[in-house]
Amino acid sequence: MDLVLETENVSSYHAANQYKKFDRPVEYSFTIEEETCLKDHVTRHLYTLDLEVLTNHREKGNYNFIVRTTDQQFKLDKQWAKQGKFLADLSELTEEVNLWVDEKGSIASFDHPKLQQKWKNLKLRLLKNHIGEKVENYIREIENRINNKTLFLEDLKQPKLFGLLFDGYGTLQEKRGSRQRKINSLIHGLPICFEEHFVQTKETFPEQEISIQGKMKHLDANALSRIQAYFKFNDIVETAPFLVYYKKNAVLDMDSGYVKKSHFQLELTNGNGYTKKQVLELKQK
């Protein structure tokens, strides 16, 4: 008989004791859908890719993983054709990443020197194949983050990279069921901060389901001013954006430590012509 346990107490979450080492990579499919509405103009993007995750070894309490990205497809809105080619080239940077993950399931570090070397070669090709002041400025911003290990570690933890794969669910225990999350480039390139709250867990060993909801943190004056200027430029009423929903559901394999699937969705709006939606789906094959 399966043991089924439902509760709203965060103490019921049990992190796996360790990640199981497999001879072959654990494979995932990953889908990212984005929709931005500016009055009557709607922009939709779809990204699909596969991930291969190989447990390498354990070092100083952290687990070493090699994560490979394959079969990337960028189906962007027609007006984003040039940006799509740039993103496809840029994605080579994270085609293979060497990560260290702590016992809580959070990305703790990565092979920074190897990534910096890869960037040196990629940067030359990007500047050669993509011309323009905006491209040069964007490449400069990327280089600043790559040269700052802390900033790029933050990028790797983003939901659109490896944040759903290694989501650090163990941190929910030590923070009494809530934690802070920042999602980069959410509104006009600006990050938005959220507070995630553990809602429910359901355990049918060896699987454990986790449900999380989020609340939007208050925008600081500078961020709000920039967002309102963006609204004004697009002839949208300059009311502050607010959160419609923020939901995350995951199924963990407690025997291996790996996430089996994770679904994340959010919607922001200002109630006067602006809406931003994201839906991310990670599934083990």
**pLDDT for the residue numbered 11:** 41
For tokens 């999602």, the residue is 183
pTM (global) more than 0.95: no
**pLDDT for the residue numbered 24:** 94
| CB contact burial 53-82 (16+ within 10 A = b; e otherwise) | bebeeeeeebbbbebebeebebebbeebee
**Which residues constitute the domain of residue 107?**
4-284
Query: Structurally, how many domains does the chain consist of?
Result: 1
Average pLDDT for runs of 10 along the chain of length 285: 38 62 95 96 95 89 94 89 87 95 93 96 93 90 95 96 93 74 93 91 88 95 96 96 97 92 98 97 97
Residue 83, domain CATH? 2.30.230
